Amino acid sequence: MESNGDREFCANGTCMKTAEVEAKLDQGNIQDAETALRDGLSLTSEEARALLGKLEYQRGNVEGALRVFDGIDLKAAIQRLQPSLSEKPAKKGPSHAESPSSVTQHAASMVLEAIYLKAKTLQKLGKFNEAVNECKQVVDAVEKVFSQGIPETQGDNRLQEIVSCAVELLPELWKQAGCYPEAIKAYRHALLSQWNLDNNCCARIQKAFAAFLLYSGVEASPPSFSGQVEGTYVPKNNIEEAILLLMIILSKCSLGKVKWDPSVMEHLTFALSICGETSILAKQFQELMPGVYHRIDRWNSLALCLSGAGQNKNALSLLRKSLHKHERPDDLVALLLAAKVCSEDPHLGAEGAGYAQRAVDKAQGVNEHLKGVALRMLGLCLGKQAKVASSDFERSMLQSKALQSLEEAVRLEQNNFDLIFELAIQYAEHRNLAVALRYAKQFFDKTGGSKLKGWRLLSLVLSALKRFSEAEVVTDAALDETSKWEQGPLFRLKAKLKIAELRPMDAIEIYRYLLALVQAQKKSSGPQSLSSQFGMV
Amino acid sequence: MSDDENTTTSTVTFTPNTSEKIQSALQSLTTIVNPTLSVTSSTTPLSILNECQIYAQIAALLRSPNSGAGDNNLCRWLYDTFQSNVADLQLTILRFLPIIAGVYLSRVAERKPQAGFEAVLLALYAHETTTRAGEPVTVTIPDMSHPSVYHESKTTVNKNNATDRNIAVLSPLLEPHGTVRSTRRARIVGVAFELFYSKISQMSIAPKIDFCKFCKIWAGQNGDMYKYFEDEDDEEDEEESNEVKIEKDKESEEIKRGRVPMPWELLQPVMRILGHCLLGPNNKNTKLFEAASEACRCLFARAMHDVNPNAILPMRSLLRLSKNIDEFDATEPPKTDVISL
């Protein structure tokens, strides 16, 4: 045990060095240590033990501390306090140090602190259930006695500190003891009753609770509250409650009431992304105070949110800012995202190719693994750029460059399904149907037929090769593997095949069926909308 | 296998029917695996079914070739036991979902017949569909301008504005499925994972570790380059011996082969389970945390390779959160040299 010659006890206006007492404790002599302290500072047995326990805790001697605390009858001490504590001071005004109310509060904080430290020692010893019992005593006692909250006193606010700590500790102890429903109750109790917690303490508890709600996998029954104002938002499940708490902390940060904690934003990002609500997440980023994140990081995060929410134009505007040569032009994520956004619009193809090329150049060292991804983006952008080329020569040059990039990409990313699909499309557009078929088959095999677009592509390429019966076989198989609402495009395909095979009566039958399907879908509340039916899946 | 089996703390009402079913499940299992029964005073048929050893044996069988075939005995047993409608037995079966789904998905590209696995997956899917009556699961995102139970709002609540709400769909509605159509495969497996997540606090550590290992495989990306993600002291590439490098390359190739398509309907429940493994109350099990961290890095790498913002954002957050686990304990009394009352 470390003995620090500088420690001292202070009580009743006098101080005493701890060295002598520490020596006695090291010999296992609690009784002698207690006596020495009582004599030295004129203390009661209880007060002396409380000080000894604190000393042992400070020294890191957890088992010793527990032995000392076990020797105090803390329950009885609480009992004695209760009648006197419930007396309210007769008049307001500055209270003297010797006035009855502050003396009894002083005694109360001593006892409660001792119990609190006992709970902490039990926690450190891994005895979580016992720790819970001790901590609960503190919380229950304060609640019974100070039902209106702890009165403000001049002088040190020890009691409030202890109560705040106990209220913060209790749910954590329940958690460590594996009693999750009780932990949830304790968190709510801490946040919804009047404990006079300071803002930072409250925010910490809110964050701990939000994290518990998000990751514990224990679904809390919704909180029930009486006397709600109409229009009050009451969360109905874990995610709602967690998001609410995290948003509250963020707004307190914005008002300067609590210290900024980046993990709060990370939890909220996770929660909102899981719900698919990145547009709301974008708003949260926008409402943060400037300086919390570097502006370029904020732009890039915002761009990710907006792109995820389908607002690609806005995302691109932000990325253009952050990729400017005076900002952070070499950020790989930003470059790849910008290239991806551009790759969906022929008029942005050239711009996207620029970003992609920069990404290819920067994909080195620890980022080397992204080179294939960058080459893919380059190929896509060049392919799109080719569509608005002003001359045939330019078009064919861009198309072959595009193919070259994609081929280089697939050498690095052999199992990137989207890339294989895109190669098939490019070759098909290039009228190189044999290679297109090879890639279409590869895509189909590697995705196990789970992508509708894979089936359609295979069928289309086969029909372009005039292998109509095989195309029909594929289409029929696809119909077996898809659910009703996705079958529209497949029926269209089948009908066209019939026409190509010069069997118009069969085609008419299929169109009739397709019409019925469309009517049925209009009437029902099917999950797919009409437009998504005919888009690529 | 670690010994951290969580004993279920829920009270089980043993109706005569339930005990019979558990007993018969155990008996039929003994024709498939070989439990060495160490009988103590607290041994019940249920506790035997949940033993580490049994888990390991069943897991090994599930990984053997042709384990998912339609006539496979083990699949039959898993299916029948789950259909018994005894909650405890269903939990026992649910523990094997990560391995079943993992082996199943990785064999899809090989075109192996897997009717046995599919039957089990469909049973889980059907159970969840029944529990939810097919309804979607929605989340109402709070609007801070409206007061809540946890905060007051300065703006006056306009009662006419009550429907200005953001309703997000956490899980879309469920159509019944009698077979696994290939375009519905991801959704069916995803829903099975949603069921797994709803019971995850009752799962032991072993299935969670298996889950994390499969995440690595499904991602099909090595995540090692993100070990020092956003660390301030940039660790330069460690000097690796040639043998280590060759091993890593081999592993990389294996990992890439196991890559599966991960549409949102599969990815989202996977991320929620991973969040639990990484940040949930798992008694700081280091094996689980390491497996989960690795899985996290791999899935983040996958999100980057797909340039998928909806996956990049949550995975990046998990990665950042996993690096800041040991936080300052505000309930610890400050160190002081003055001991006073």
Tokens 């389970």 correspond to: B273
Query: Of A344 and A104, which is predicted with more confidence?
Result: A344
Q: What is the pLDDT of residue A238?
A: 94
Residue A179, pLDDT above cutoff 60:
yes
Q: Looking at chain B, which residue has its C-alpha nearest residue A273?
A: B314
Model confidence at B11, pLDDT cuts 50, 70, 90, reads low
Say if B159 falls within a structural domain. Answer: no
- Structural domain of B70: 3-135+171-189
Q: Quickly count: other Cβ atoms within 10 Å of residue A264's Cβ.
A: 23
B208 and B185 in one domain? Answer: no
Classify residue B148: in a domain, yes or no: no
The contacts of residue B166 (CB under 8 Å, 6+ apart) are A277, A280, B140, B141, B143
Look up the CATH architecture of domain A1-85+101-145: Alpha Horseshoe (1.25)
Shared-domain flag, residues B80 and B184: yes
The answer, yes or no, to whether residue B265 has pLDDT greater than 90, is yes
A330-346 pLDDT, tens per residue?
A: 999 999 999 999 999 99
Give the C-alpha distances (Å, rounded to integers) separating B116 from A277, A534, B68, B101, B179.
Answer: 37, 34, 5, 12, 12
- Chain B environment of A240 (Cβ under 8 Å): 139-142
Q: Based on the domain organization, do B130 and B208 belong to the same domain?
A: no
Any idea which residue has 């709002």 for tokens?
Answer: B153
Run of H or E including A184? helix A180-192
Residue B11 lies in a domain: yes
Same domain, B50 and B180: yes
B128 shares a domain with B7: yes
Q: Are residues B39 and B185 in the same domain?
A: yes
ipTM score assigned to the predicted complex: 0.90
B220-241 average pLDDT score: 72
> Among A312-321, A489-498, B183-192, which stretch is predicted with the lowest mean pLDDT?
A489-498
Percent of chain B with pLDDT over 90: 52
User: Cα(A426)–Cα(A348) distance, rounded to whole angstroms?
Assistant: 18
Residues of A in contact with B237 (CB under 8 A): 365-366
Please give the tally of structural domains in chain B.
2
In degrees and rounded to multiples of 5, residue A39 shows phi and psi of -65, -45
Residue B170: φ, ψ to 5°: -80, -35
Contacting residues for A484 by C-beta, under 8 A, at least 6 apart? A517, A526
B296 in the same domain as B184: no
Do B176 and B44 share a structural domain?
yes
Residue B141 in any domain: the answer is no
Task: Please tell me whether residues B106 and B210 are part of one structural domain.
Answer: no
- Grade residue A82 by pLDDT with cuts at 50, 70 and 90: low
Mean pLDDT confidence for A256-271? 94
Pairing of strands B137-141, B166-171: antiparallel
Spatial CA neighbour of B317 closest among B257, B261, B271, B277: B271
Per mean pLDDT, which range of A36-45, A92-101, A449-458 is the poorest?
A92-101
B180 domain-assigned: yes
Quick check: A536 contacting B, CB < 8 Å? Answer: no
What amino acid is encoded at A515 in this protein? L
Q: What does the DSSP assignment read for A378-419?
A: HHHHHHHHHHT-SSHHHHHHHHHHHHHHHHHHHHH-TT-HHH
Q: Is the model more confident about B9 or about A228?
A: A228
- B34 and B179 belong to one structural domain: yes
Chain A environment of B189 (Cβ under 8 Å)? none
| pLDDT, average across residues B210-219 | 95
- Of A152-161, A309-318, B99-108, B258-267, the poorest mean pLDDT is in A152-161
Q: Comparing C-alpha atoms, which of B301, B293, B300 is closest to residue B316?
A: B300
Nearest chain A CA: its distance from B204 CA (Å): 13
Residue A9 DSSP SS3: strand
What tens digit of pLDDT does each residue of B45-95 get? 888 888 888 899 999 999 998 888 888 999 999 999 999 989 999 999 999
pLDDT exceeds 50 at position A536: no
Contact call for residues A288 and A229 (beta carbons, < 8 A): no
> Do B183 and B256 belong to one domain?
no
pTM across the whole model: 0.90
Do B178 and B262 fall into the same domain? Answer: no
Q: Where are the domains of chain A?
A: 1-85+101-145, 483-537
Q: Is residue B183 part of a domain?
A: yes
pLDDT at A190 over 70: yes
Reply yes or no on whether the pLDDT at A478 is more than 70: yes
Residues A220, A185: Cα–Cα separation, whole Å: 9
Residue found by looking up tokens 């040991």 in the block: B326
How confident is the model at residue A225, as a pLDDT?
A: 64
B315 in a structural domain: yes
**For chain B, what percent of residues have pLDDT higher than 70?**
82
Task: Give just the sign of the alpha carbon dihedral A157, A163, A164, A169.
Answer: positive
Q: Is residue B334 part of a domain?
A: no
Backbone angles phi, psi at B166, to 5 degrees: -100, 115
Beta bridge mates, B151: B148
Q: Which residue has the higher pLDDT, A436 or B146?
A: A436
User: Which positions 37-96 of A are in contact with B (Cβ < 8 Å)?
Assistant: 47, 50-51, 54-55, 57-58
> Residue B127: is its pLDDT beyond 90?
yes
Question: From the candidates A215, A254, A528, which should be mutated to test the interface with B, based on the most B CB atoms within 10 A?
Answer: A215
